[in-house]
Structure 1
Amino acid sequence: MSKQSIAPRREKRIQKSQMVDDATLLRQQIDSISAQAPRYLFRIWSSQSGGNARFNSTERIIPHAFLENDSDARSMIHHLGRTQIAYLANGHLRSGHVPTVFSSWTQSLPQLLSWARSGGHRYGRYIAVIDTTMLDPCNVVLYTPLMKTISNTIVEFPYEYLIYGVVEGPGYKAIPFEEFAEFIKVNRASDRSDTNYPHQREGLSELVDKASQLAKLYGKTFEAAIMSHLLTMQPASRATTSMLASNIAQLRLPEDWLREADPLRSGANVGTYPEAVRALDMMQRVIEVAKGEKTVAARESAASETRTAAALDEICAQKASQQKVGGEEADLARNRQAQARMKRMARQLYIDMIGWRPHELV
């Protein structure tokens, strides 16, 4: 076999290897961008959005490309190449000349409400929220400024995240924009620079009340997150922020907020927008307050148990003395009491040193 016939085969193998390597790199880049998505994102839509009422509903968001094709609705973006992703992303962001595989979301609730007030669709508007940790694995979240690593031809909008695929399930919730009317009115008038004056405290109290009413409409899954975003739409003094965090911490928080080490994705890329950064910081403060309160409650409970156990020990000792329990039986009773005391002391020491971690105190 001649060298001339071997050379083309070798080139084909090299090209195939390079294609495989780039496909692996592309998958890693997509997953890396998606991992940097904030936990909570927002979207405004109406029955007129996209020209078809079936695209958006309180049940799900269906990108145009998946409206009539259920089989493709669960496909992964990873099977696409760089050129295809760039073509679809730019088609969605620029012109809408191709059936889109994406829906648009933002990290900024204030910006979204501004769009809602100034947009062309005046009726049937909804404000939707998603918890990106609860999305289907096919729902890759791509922040447009970071998509330059996929292709430098992709346009970027710092307020825009693209979510691939059909968005639905318990991690999605939408309510009518009209429900925001009372909160928006109070929010404009509120003064969060200080709380030393009665009129400021009254205004802040009304703001918290309106935010609470609105957040409840999103259900327990989103209530604390919505409150945090609503109450950080404007800057506040440190004292006011602490007071607001303590108020939000009284809500029933998502279980993983208190259980996981980084439930809010502290490395999330929200751009340089202060309102998004404030909301993320507020949720972190809420978690710290809630964990602190649980630790105090646990210490008080442990102290109460210790006092109760000590009283029981004394009663048992008195009964043993009265019944003249002798020898080995009395020793066994004392040993059991000592072991119980040691277990309570160890538990109290653990709480003092580590903090309240109920899943570890078994």
Structure 2
Amino acid sequence: MVFFSNSRSSRNIGAGTATYTPKKSFGQKIKDMVLPKRKRKAVDPPPSSFRVLRSRPYGTTYTPTVEAPTPASTVVTTHPVIVAPAPTPAASTALAASGSSSSSNAKHSKVDLQRLKQLEETTKNIPRYLFRACSPTSGGGLKGLNTVNGIFPHAFVDGNGVRIPNGGNKSIHDIPFQTTRRMAVGHLSGQRPARGDPIYSQFSSWAATLALVLQYGHSRALQGGLICVLDRYNLPKHTKVYHCPDMMKAGLCDSPYDHEYLVHGPVEGAGFKAVSVQTLIDMGLYTEIPCVLPHSARYWWGPIPQRDWESLFPAKDFSANQVKTLRKAADEFGKSFALPVLAAFMTLDRRKLDKNGKFSDKDMKIFADAVEDLYVPEEYGTEKSIVQPAGVYVQGYPMVAQLVGLLKQLVEYNYGRGVRARRRIEVEDLSAELGALGLPGKKSLDLGEKTGRLSTSFAFGVSDVPVVAVA
């Protein structure tokens, strides 16, 4: 209190008696009390003696005085000097290692690490197959992003479209949490920062519903548009897939974007295939499935209520001719993708299902016959299904729900209880044909079946083994 009293009185030392300092009004006093310290300093700067007090060495005796203050330039502050010994080479190595480790850990707080851990758990329920429509103009029209050989996010190619060997990061765990958030938000909103910016996108966008992809892709046909499909099980090791609603829960996204999945890293190799939109148009895909044309009933940028789905689209049975046409289009994606792509094609239309949501036996036979030469993974009917019910918004996306149901029923058709009954029928039909030709009949076939010599491989999508007649 004495210090401030002396400081206030020192402001008028040396002034003549004619100098008059106006008395502060009540409002000005209130202003001095309320204004923050920084603003108050700008209005009424403190005396210079306060600056001297801050710069004096600790431990010395200081007595406030009203004499002229000593210039700050003449005040010398002393500090003890500690000389550290030079570290040994081993210590330097350890220090560098510890510094690297702490730098890595500094990228994420404990809360962020927990969020990332929970996000990684959700990747187990991501659909196995995802779809994408793009063209050379996508992503700002930069070269090398969208090609028939792969999809490469911005950070993984240079300005000439050439793949950067060490471009981007191997994982989002190697990126500071807030940088990943800004990158994801910028990617989803279409922002394109300058090349070299830390938030330069390392993601590409995909969807579980082929309806959205085909509808968007049709408008890119004349620009070299591509329809792409990925198999999550066969992607490069470090390429991970995240559902936007899960990213939002983790704090990495500001809107759910139910239809969208972000893939971190390049999508290439055995887990990727692309076909031009124009090729699919020429093969009659959009003629067979007019509901995905841009001028059809709706665009598929979000979920659709079941009532609207039923009112907009009449339920249709499978047609052998339609399956045949769509199978040719699906074959363009190669044998690895022909089955899931054909199933996705067939379930874009609203199909007739029974009260349990099952396809009719007739429809299943038509579809199974069309893919009898293709391998049907048994896991499609297990917890490793093509689409996990707990991991995708099936509600609101009825075409995806139909896709899940069709492939699960196909597994049941090929490997389930009905296989033996159908096999017996085929054995009887084959026996009748052999009998008509004067060859061993049903008895020999029954014996061959019991001894394991009768082929049942027709149910597994491989070539039949000749039946060996038993004497």
Unaligned runs of 5+ residues in structure 1 are: 1-12, 196-200, 311-340, 345-350, 357-362
SS in 2 for 1:170: helix
Shift of 1:294: 5.4
Instruction: After superposition, give the CA deviation of every residue in 1:52-94 in whole Å (9 maximum; x if it has no partner).
Output: 2311111111100111432245611122243122101011011
Out of 332, 335, 348, the residue aligned to residue 233 of structure 1 is 348
Instruction: After superposition, give the CA deviation of every residue in 1:28-72 in whole Å (9 maximum; x if it has no partner).
Output: 222123222111111111122221231111111110011143224
Aligned residues: 293
Out of 374, 385, 388, the residue aligned to residue 266 of structure 1 is 388
Aligned pair in 2 of structure 1 residues 27, 223: CA closer, same or farther (>3 Å)? same
Shift of 1:205: 2.5
| Aligned position for 2:121 | 32
- Looking at structure 2, the residues matched to 174 and 19 of structure 1 have their Cα atoms a distance apart, in angstroms, of 37
Out of 205, 212, 222, the residue aligned to residue 104 of structure 1 is 205
| Aligned position for 1:250 | 372
What one-letter code is carried by the residue in structure 1 that aligns with 2:369?
N
Do the aligned partners of 1:221 and 1:254 also contact (CA within 8 Å) in 2?
no
Compute the TM-score of the two structures, normalised by the length of structure 2.
0.55
Aligned pair in 2 of structure 1 residues 20, 304: CA closer, same or farther (>3 Å)? farther
| Aligned position for 1:325 | none
Do the aligned partners of 1:38 and 1:107 also contact (CA within 8 Å) in 2?
yes
| Aligned position for 1:184 | 286
| Aligned position for 2:323 | 208
| Aligned position for 1:314 | none
Shift of 1:174: 0.2
What one-letter code is carried by the residue in structure 2 that aligns with 1:137?
K
Counterparts of 1:39-50 in structure 2, within 5 Å, are: 39-50=128-139
Do the aligned partners of 2:207 and 2:259 also contact (CA within 8 Å) in 1?
yes
* Residue 307 (1) aligns with residue 447 (2): yes
| Aligned position for 2:413 | 289
* Residue 166 (1) aligns with residue 281 (2): no
Counterparts of 1:217-232 in structure 2, within 5 Å, are: 217-232=332-347
Shift of 1:237: 1.2
* Residue 53 (1) aligns with residue 53 (2): no
- Looking at structure 2, the residues matched to 162 and 135 of structure 1 have their Cα atoms a distance apart, in angstroms, of 14
Do the aligned partners of 2:347 and 2:403 also contact (CA within 8 Å) in 1?
yes
SS in 1 for 2:134: strand
Out of 107, 111, 119, the residue aligned to residue 22 of structure 1 is 111
- Looking at structure 1, the residues matched to 280 and 132 of structure 2 have their Cα atoms a distance apart, in angstroms, of 14
Compute the TM-score of the two structures, normalised by the length of structure 1.
0.70
| Aligned position for 2:29 | none
Unaligned runs of 5+ residues in structure 2 are: 1-101, 159-163, 194-199, 292-312, 354-359, 428-442, 461-471
RMSD: 3.6
Instruction: After superposition, give the CA deviation of every residue in 1:88-119 in whole Å (9 maximum; x if it has no partner).
Output: 10110113233210001111111111112345
Shift of 1:264: 2.2
Do the aligned partners of 1:228 and 1:279 also contact (CA within 8 Å) in 2?
yes
Do the aligned partners of 1:92 and 1:100 also contact (CA within 8 Å) in 2?
yes
Aligned pair in 2 of structure 1 residues 258, 297: CA closer, same or farther (>3 Å)? farther
Instruction: After superposition, give the CA deviation of every residue in 1:150-200 in whole Å (9 maximum; x if it has no partner).
Output: 1175233222111000111101000111122202112239x97465xxxxx
Counterparts of 1:52-201 in structure 2, within 5 Å, are: 52-68=142-158, 69-73=164-168, 75-98=170-193, 99-118=200-219, 122-151=222-251, 154-181=254-281, 182-188=284-290, 193=315
Aligned pair in 2 of structure 1 residues 308, 277: CA closer, same or farther (>3 Å)? closer
Structure having greater relative contact order (Cα 8 Å, sep ≥ 6)? 1
SS in 2 for 1:84: helix
Do the aligned partners of 1:90 and 1:154 also contact (CA within 8 Å) in 2?
yes
Do the aligned partners of 1:73 and 1:166 also contact (CA within 8 Å) in 2?
no
Aligned pair in 2 of structure 1 residues 309, 132: CA closer, same or farther (>3 Å)? closer
Do the aligned partners of 1:248 and 1:286 also contact (CA within 8 Å) in 2?
no
Counterparts of 1:313-352 in structure 2, within 5 Å, are: none
Do the aligned partners of 1:128 and 1:173 also contact (CA within 8 Å) in 2?
yes
Do the aligned partners of 1:224 and 1:251 also contact (CA within 8 Å) in 2?
no
Do the aligned partners of 1:249 and 1:286 also contact (CA within 8 Å) in 2?
no
| Aligned position for 1:332 | none
- Looking at structure 2, the residues matched to 289 and 84 of structure 1 have their Cα atoms a distance apart, in angstroms, of 48
What one-letter code is carried by the residue in structure 1 that aligns with 2:266?
V
Instruction: After superposition, give the CA deviation of every residue in 1:274-302 in whole Å (9 maximum; x if it has no partner).
Output: 1111111111111111113655588899x
What one-letter code is carried by the residue in structure 1 that aligns with 2:239?
N
- Looking at structure 1, the residues matched to 366 and 191 of structure 2 have their Cα atoms a distance apart, in angstroms, of 42
- Looking at structure 2, the residues matched to 225 and 280 of structure 1 have their Cα atoms a distance apart, in angstroms, of 10
- Looking at structure 1, the residues matched to 203 and 143 of structure 2 have their Cα atoms a distance apart, in angstroms, of 16
What one-letter code is carried by the residue in structure 1 that aligns with 2:226?
Y
Aligned pair in 2 of structure 1 residues 79, 248: CA closer, same or farther (>3 Å)? farther
SS in 1 for 2:228: strand
